[in-house]
A and B are shown apart, each in its own frame.
Chain A
Amino acid sequence: MDLAGPQPQPPEHPPEHHVAGTRRVKRRLMFAVIGLYALSLAAAAVVAIRAPVGQKGKKDGEESLLGLSSKETVGWVSIHGVIYNDGVRAWDKGAYQWARRIRMMAETKGVKAIILDINSPGGSVGAVQELYSQIRRVRKEFNIPIVALFGDVAASGGYYIASACDRIVAHPGTLTGSIGVIFSVDNVEGLFSKIGFKTEPIKSGPHKDIGSWSRAMTKEERDILQGIISDAYEQFLTAISTGRNMPMDKIRPLADGRIYTGNQALDAGMVDALGDSDDAVELAAKLGGIKGKPKVKREADTRQMFLDLFESRFAGAGSPADWLSRLGLRSGLEYRWAGFR
């Protein structure tokens, strides 16, 4: 007889076994998840390497992974205002900054052509030549077409830098031309004498203070300056001839300093086409070998945009260089249309 009564049945799975089983399932599930994650990482790496959107450009005609459209774009760089090298404030625009932006745009992956949106009456000779030279260098180095698009005005130095581009597109009413050089010397001798102000320059040579505004210019000085002007003028003509592939004898009659409308400039062969920004983008895309409707990538210097906005709050205050220019108090050799304010 069994006095102890019925013995409790041992559980089918002891708790330790159950815990061990659960742990095993958890581990297996986790390893499966980790495996899937590793797989997705590998797939992502392949996608990123083979078809990185906006990161690396694809070779022409190459099919993109997953059938995505390519990101071939037309870069847009604006050159607005008088072109100088200097700038008092940190956010002043200058030839070096513009040249850097053009280069940066050319270096940007996917950018196949660049539009140079010019709205400038020109500027100092050195600054204009810096930009001209850099545009040609970028074109050669990156084998990238650059199309100049004229805004309200692209005269003198503005036209000089445009001649470094592959093509020029202007509006019919754009003011361009003004091919020439100017060296403005102010003479305030009369004003100084009225207020009893006199300068006594001590010079190492007779022409050391050439262009001084406290006395009248001598005949000899005028001849020296005219020689400089003539030399810089010839440099201007050579630059246009080289850039636009135009014979000098065709340019010279056009280069008496006069301004032209875009329409007149087209007739004279100074610009290649009349059109608007869309036409320029289409032309640039065509030259860059972009198929379909091109996308435009504008230079995005947020810091500059903010500072421009900030500056515009103060009644259009420009840089000291701009103000001196506007007042006609800035002297020096310039490829600039003096009639533009």
Chain B
Amino acid sequence: MSAAEVVFDYFEDHTRSADSVRHSRPVALGLLCFAAGGVSVFMAQAVAGTLAPFSFSLLSLTLLVLWQVVLGLAFTAMLHLVMEFEGIQGSAASLFALMGLADLVWCLAVPLTLVLRLAVPNRPWLMTVAFIGVGLLSLGYKARSIQDNYQVSAARAWITLFVPYVAVVVAVLLVFTVAVVGLVKQFIQWVS
């Protein structure tokens, strides 16, 4: 099955696509999809005018795409680790490819932001709504990918999907707390 068919089936017949990905494990396709997702996010943000602090340049685009790919890798690794801990077998390479395919949803953001900018230029909040919508759609596809790759229920797939996000929030909160405690200590030392 060619890459074009895999992509087509992912949105049209996901069980067939998942089967195909499980057999061929197209990591390169996953990588390409993550990159395409990154390019789309960059372009959509450039159109929406929310690219700051980045500029509209090749260097910024490269950085963002690289970031997207690295994040995809890390995200996949974390999800796979969670599933492994739960004793559920599955291929990490397949998951990476499926996650990349789910990131392709971001390609929708480019025409969407263009249309919004053309149709309702004075309502920037609509762009935010569009971004949130596309993001949620991508999340939905990611949950379905987990479900297909590990043959788990939808609820379990959603819970697993949120584990990395929760982990990041907890880590940020922890760092913030440590920073505040450090500042308080420094202040008390300075006063005394």
The answer to whether residues A37 and B107 also contact, given A26-B4, A68-B117 and a CB cut-off of 8 A, is yes
Assembly CA distance A69 to B118 (angstroms):
12
Separation in Å of the B140 CB from the closest CB of chain A?
Answer: 19
A100 proximal to B (CB < 8 A): no
Q: How many residues in A have their beta carbons less than 8 Å from beta carbons of B?
A: 30
Assembly CA distance A314 to B190 (angstroms):
12
The answer to whether residues A66 and B118 also contact, given A30-B4, A41-B39 and a CB cut-off of 8 A, is yes
B48 near A53 (CB under 8 angstroms)? Answer: yes
Residues in chain A near residue B191, CB distance under 8 A: 314, 317
Q: How many residues in B have their beta carbons less than 8 Å from beta carbons of A?
A: 33
B121 near A44 (CB under 8 angstroms)? Answer: no
Assembly CA distance A48 to B42 (angstroms):
10
Assembly CA distance A314 to B52 (angstroms):
34
The answer to whether residues A44 and B46 also contact, given A27-B2, A54-B52 and a CB cut-off of 8 A, is yes
Interface residues of B in 1-44 (CB under 8 A from A): 2, 4-5, 7-9, 39-40, 43-44
Assembly CA distance A156 to B32 (angstroms):
62
B46 near A55 (CB under 8 angstroms)? Answer: yes
Residues in chain B near residue A44, CB distance under 8 A: 43-44, 46-47, 110, 113-114
Assembly CA distance A37 to B33 (angstroms):
13
Separation in Å of the B89 CB from the closest CB of chain A?
Answer: 30
B70 proximal to A (CB < 8 A): no
Separation in Å of the A156 CB from the closest CB of chain B?
Answer: 29
The answer to whether residues A31 and B43 also contact, given A41-B110, A55-B51 and a CB cut-off of 8 A, is no
A23 proximal to B (CB < 8 A): yes
B46 near A48 (CB under 8 angstroms)? Answer: yes
B133 proximal to A (CB < 8 A): no
**Closest A residue to B7 using CB positions:** A30
Give the number of residue pairs across the A-B interface with Cβ within 8 Å: 80
Assembly CA distance A319 to B117 (angstroms):
48
Separation in Å of the B59 CB from the closest CB of chain A?
Answer: 14
- Quick one: which of B4, B39, B50 has the most chain A CB within 10 A? B4
Residues in chain A near residue B47, CB distance under 8 A: 44, 47-48
Separation in Å of the B16 CB from the closest CB of chain A?
Answer: 11
B85 proximal to A (CB < 8 A): no
Residues in chain B near residue A23, CB distance under 8 A: 2, 5
B113 near A30 (CB under 8 angstroms)? Answer: no
Interface residues of A in 186-214 (CB under 8 A from B): none
A26 near B8 (CB under 8 angstroms)? Answer: yes
Assembly CA distance A30 to B9 (angstroms):
10
Assembly CA distance A27 to B6 (angstroms):
10
B49 near A55 (CB under 8 angstroms)? Answer: yes
B121 near A26 (CB under 8 angstroms)? Answer: no
Assembly CA distance A89 to B186 (angstroms):
10
Interface residues of B in 101-137 (CB under 8 A from A): 107, 110-111, 113-114, 117-118, 121-122
Chain A to chain B: the 3 pairs with minimum beta-carbon distance, closest first: A53-B49, A48-B46, A30-B4
B-to-A contact residues, CB < 8 Å: 2, 4-5, 7-9, 39-40, 43-44, 46-52, 55-56, 107, 110-111, 113-114, 117-118, 121-122, 180, 183, 187, 190-191
Known pairs A23-B5, A47-B46, A55-B51 / 16 extra A-B pairs, C-beta < 8 Å? A40-B111, A41-B39, A41-B40, A43-B114, A44-B44, A49-B56, A52-B46, A52-B49, A54-B49, A55-B46, A68-B121, A69-B121, A71-B49, A89-B190, A310-B180, A314-B187
